[in-house]
Structures are given as structure tokens and as C-alpha cells.
């Protein structure tokens, strides 16, 4: 399961990448992410870096452990979510991949955000049942499609302000 959407931002690819490749910035745009403490805020992370993201959905709160899979200035930033837990990410296993690509578009950048479900070891029926509880009735693909649209809209508004 993969969901993707794009938006054009009136900034150079390198400038947009520098913001997105710093996970500490994500709460500015994401409807769920509440933080991602990193060693040096304001500094893009490189491939292999590990960070913990904090998230919320309604009353639910959780923390993830993420490993950066790609970080190419002005081109791409991606990470795998490899553990999850309430206060500490204790439940290990491939959960999801988030990738952002940046392409020149006129005088700005086409930003594409992609979410891929990595829960390959879960039976489809179990994943579907979990998704409907965790999202209050939607499959994760539908839920993430809405979240991605919100994130990209917020990213555009914030970076162009």
C-alpha cells in the first residue's frame, strides 16, 4: 500500500529539502507529528541517522524510532519507521516508509510526499482491523491520503509566507 501527493512550493529544491530533512521541523506542517528531537535542530539529517518522532491522534500519543534511508540535498529525504511505543518505541518491526522528493518546477519545487505501508508480516485482515480502530473507521491508505494533503498544504503555506 502506497499513497502519494504533490504540491508546488515557490522556493528552490535545496531550500525546501533543508527544511524537510530536519525532522524537528515537521510539527509545523503535520497534523499528527508533535516533535522529533534531533542533535542539532535546523540541521538536515543524513542517511543512516536515527531519530525518535512523537505523534498524537486525538487522545492517543505514541513515539516512533526512525532511520533515515535517503538524504540527497535538493532531491530526496526518506526514512523508515522501525519501532513504535507509547513512551518509548519498544515494539520493533518495519512499519512504514516516508519519502519526500524535490523536483525543479518553474521557479520553485514540486514536493512529493509518499507513505508506504511496510507491515508485510501482518495478515491483511489484521492490518485492516487495526487501521479501522486506529483511524476511527478508515483504512490507513485513506487516512494517510488526507494527512499528506494537509501536510503538503501546510508546508506550502509556511514556506511561502
pLDDT value of residue 99: 98
Taking the C-alpha atoms of residue 17 and residue 75, their distance in angstroms, rounded to an integer, is 7
**Mean per-residue pLDDT, 20-28:** 96
| Domains, in order of start, for the chain | 2-160 (3.30.530.20)
pTM of the predicted model, to two decimals?
Answer: 0.91
pLDDT value of residue 42: 87
Q: Looking at the predicted structure, is the pLDDT value of residue 22 above 70?
A: yes
Give the model confidence (pLDDT) of 130-146 as tens digits. 666 666 767 777 889 99
Taking the C-alpha atoms of residue 36 and residue 63, their distance in angstroms, rounded to an integer, is 9
Q: Looking at the predicted structure, is the pLDDT value of residue 120 above 80?
A: no
Q: At what angle do helices 140-160 and 124-134 cross, to 10 degrees?
A: 50
Q: Which three cell numbers stand for residue 138?
A: 478508515
Amino acid at each position: 500500500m502506497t499513497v502519494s501527493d504533490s504540491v508546488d512550493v515557490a522556493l528552490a529544491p535545496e531550500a525546501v529539502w533543508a527544511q524537510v530533512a530536519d525532522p524537528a521541523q515537521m510539527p509545523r506542517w503535520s497534523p499528527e507529528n508533535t516533535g522529533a528531537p534531533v542533535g542539532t535542530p535546523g540541521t538536515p539529517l543524513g542517511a543512516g541517522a536515527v531519530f525518535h518522532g512523537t505523534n498524537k491522534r486525538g487522545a492517543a500519543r505514541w513515539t516512533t524510532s526512525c532511520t533515515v534511508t535517503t538524504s540527497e540535498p535538493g532531491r530526496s529525504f526518506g526514512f523508515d519507521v522501525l519501532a513504535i511505543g507509547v513512551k518509548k518505541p519498544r515494539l520493533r518491526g518495519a512499519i512504514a516508509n516516508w519519502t519526500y522528493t524535490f523536483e525543479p518546477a518553474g521557479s520553485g519545487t514540486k514536493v512529493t510526499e509518499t507513505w508506504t505501508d511496510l507491515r508485510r508480516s501482518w495478515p491483511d485482515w489484521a492490518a485492516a482491523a487495526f487501521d479501522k480502530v486506529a483511524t476511527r473507521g478508515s483504512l490507513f491508505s485513506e487516512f494517510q491520503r488526507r494527512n499528506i494533503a494537509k501536510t503538503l498544504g501546510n508546508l506550502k503555506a509556511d514556506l511561502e509566507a
